[in-house]
Structure 1
Amino acid sequence: MENANPLGEFLRARRALVSPEDSGLSATGRRRVAGLRREEVAMLAGVSIDYYVRLEQGRERNPSAQVVDALGEALRLDDDAMAHLHRLARPIRTRGRSRPRSDRVSPALLRMMAGWHHTPAVVLGSRLTVLAHNALGRALFAGHTHSDDLVRLVFLDPDARTFYPDWERVAVSTVAGLRGAAGAADDDPELVRTVGELSLHSPEFSRLWARHDIRHKTHETKRFRHPLVGELTLEYESLTVNGAPGQQLVIYQAAPGSPSEQALSLLGSLAAATAPTPDPTPDPTADPTPSEKVTRREW
């Protein structure tokens, strides 16, 4: 995580993922490294080999926006990765400490989610930990060792590959989403600890993290194999919470009239039947008590 030359690390990782054939080049001669050679990236980007080597080595740290765009095109970066490359090349310098990312979910958002009885919804933090959920969102992810942490659920949970039938695709998307969610706060000490733990215990995570894929959660179709209701195919939309930097509201839906919609309805009924009797309705304007905070973050 902490690296004195993040730009160079990103460039090295990304050129290793592009084959000469992808770029219209002939793969001649013995190649000691995967992907493109430095001189090939330089040629495709229209810069000198010496200049590109200095960028990778951290001896040149101020490429122009035009050069960054050319490098992104040479490395075949998508929009998210291109934006990340620009941030690495020209980081925004701020005075003092940046605004901390909040783990507190607004009471108004909690009330809104509680009213969605047929739609699973969760609020994620910048490390893809679950900060809050509605009843159906809780039921969707319940029963796992790491139900409150979507990254650890994918890579450390013993039944992750059963829960996610398309585990390999989910794993790639999750690591890219973690980088996307972290954004400019990738020096967050808790994120550093999280990446260190996952790299130590999951070779798959370590390999994928080294690729430097980055993708913001937006929308996707995901399959689940739920222990209570079986197969579910759900579409999700991820929305940023403007009042809380780093938070994402993720809403899942099944196609109308589909077997997944029926299974989701059954899951809602099962969750309602096993839900504890609620306490008297609290004052919605009051701050949450310590016990309420734990309920929102744990399953």
Structure 2
Amino acid sequence: MHDAPTPPPAPEPLDGRAELSEFLRTRRARLQPEDVGLPNFGRHRRVPGLRREELAQLAGVSVAYYTRLEQGNGRNVSGEVLDAIARALRLTDAEHSHLTHLAKPKHHKKKRPARPQHARPALHHLMDAMDSIPAYVVGRRSDILAWNRMAAALFGDWAALPAEERNWARICFLHPGARELFVDWEQKASDMVSFLRMEAGCFPNDPLLSALVGELSVKSEEFRSLWATHDVREKGHGVKRMHHPLVGELTLAYETLRLPDDHDQSLVTYHAEPDSASAQALRLLASWGADATRAGTAGTGS
């Protein structure tokens, strides 16, 4: 008789105080006095970017107050002070939102449902009707929840992956094929880390997210480097260049449509400029063969 294996320990939640501290420190480090209209006295500065006292002056708060905030103590900070600091740091809208989530998590944390996410049947039908448009539904932590046959033809046979591996961050950093498919893989990787950073700010106590970040940090040096930048941004649309093994070069525009009844899920579509070489390549993929069709059918039924 053998003893039952000891289950692995539950992943530690992300440290919200450390996240707030590092985010503010890295945002401050990217600014120089001349960027914000301050005189730069002396060429030798002990820290990169603005000093704490300079940032506090710009935000209209005391140095002691800002220092406590940058040390991760944001419990009693007001929205007005966060707005002032965001302006002083020249934060984007996404960065401002991230700062608010980090500093006031109790006011922004959503309760995670215990059950796994699933795409609604109507979304499966909608994607199946897009017979010339690669489309998929992505959920929390960049999990891929459903897709159509064109997405399978473009991105690969996701149906062949175990359910826990159907995750864009894992695919991007741990599957060699992603580096070959995306001509601008570095940008794709940066976008994925920025997305996970936003998730971590909203849901620091999500154990599955903590486990994903831990796994990628161990297995990918590129992920560790990008994670350390604390960069966040939202990209609802854009252009991706790809090199497909069957049809060659493609330049496709993507749109990310957040679902109104579940903001943790988004429908992502890719399309080519009409009458372009990429449009012709998509038509070739649409008629690729029965194997891709079966993979897409299996995927949208997962």
TM-score scaled by length of structure 2: 0.83
Q: CA deviation at 1:250?
A: 0.4
1:86 aligned to 2:104?
A: no
- Structure 1: how far apart are the matches of 2:228 and 2:254? 27
Q: CA deviation at 1:159?
A: 3.5
- Structure 2: how far apart are the matches of 1:194 and 1:57? 26
* Aligned-partner residue type, residue 228 of structure 1: L
Trace 1:63-74 onto structure 2 (pairs within 5 A).
63-74=77-88
1:7 aligned to 2:27?
A: no
Partner deviation per Cα, 1:93-152 (whole Å, 9 max, x = no partner):
599955457511111110111010011001111111211100101111106897832112
TM-score scaled by length of structure 1: 0.84
Q: CA deviation at 1:220?
A: 1.0
2:236–2:256 Cα contact (<8 Å) kept: yes
Q: CA deviation at 1:271?
A: 4.3
SS of the aligned residue for 2:264 comes to coil
Q: Label 1:89 to 1:266 Cα distance change in 2 as closer, same or farther (>3 A).
A: same
Q: CA deviation at 1:64?
A: 1.9
Partner deviation per Cα, 1:13-34 (whole Å, 9 max, x = no partner):
3222333343344273423333
Q: CA deviation at 1:2?
A: 1.5
User: What is the match of residue 136 of structure 2?
Assistant: 122
Which structure has more relative contact order (CA 8 Å, sep 6+)? It is 2
- Structure 2: how far apart are the matches of 1:295 and 1:110? 6
1:50 aligned to 2:67?
A: no
2:101–2:108 Cα contact (<8 Å) kept: no
Aligned length in residues? 284
Q: Identify which of 182, 203, 206 aligns with 1:185.
A: 203
Structure with the higher fraction of residues in helix conformation: 2
% same residue: 46
1:41 aligned to 2:59?
A: no
Q: Identify which of 183, 191, 203 aligns with 1:173.
A: 191
2:152–2:296 Cα contact (<8 Å) kept: no
2:149–2:292 Cα contact (<8 Å) kept: no
Q: Label 1:76 to 1:167 Cα distance change in 2 as closer, same or farther (>3 A).
A: same
- Structure 1: how far apart are the matches of 2:16 and 2:273? 47
Stretches of structure 2 lacking an aligned partner (at least 5 in a row): 1-12
2:149–2:295 Cα contact (<8 Å) kept: no
- Structure 1: how far apart are the matches of 2:287 and 2:277? 15
- Structure 1: how far apart are the matches of 2:301 and 2:257? 19
Larger mean Cα displacement after TM superposition, 21-30 or 157-166: 21-30
- Structure 1: how far apart are the matches of 2:37 and 2:220? 35
SS of the aligned residue for 1:236 comes to strand
Q: CA deviation at 1:190?
A: 0.7
- Structure 2: how far apart are the matches of 1:9 and 1:179? 12
* Aligned-partner residue type, residue 3 of structure 1: D
1:210 aligned to 2:228?
A: yes
Q: CA deviation at 1:272?
A: 4.8
Q: CA RMSD in A?
A: 2.9
Q: Label 1:185 to 1:135 Cα distance change in 2 as closer, same or farther (>3 A).
A: same
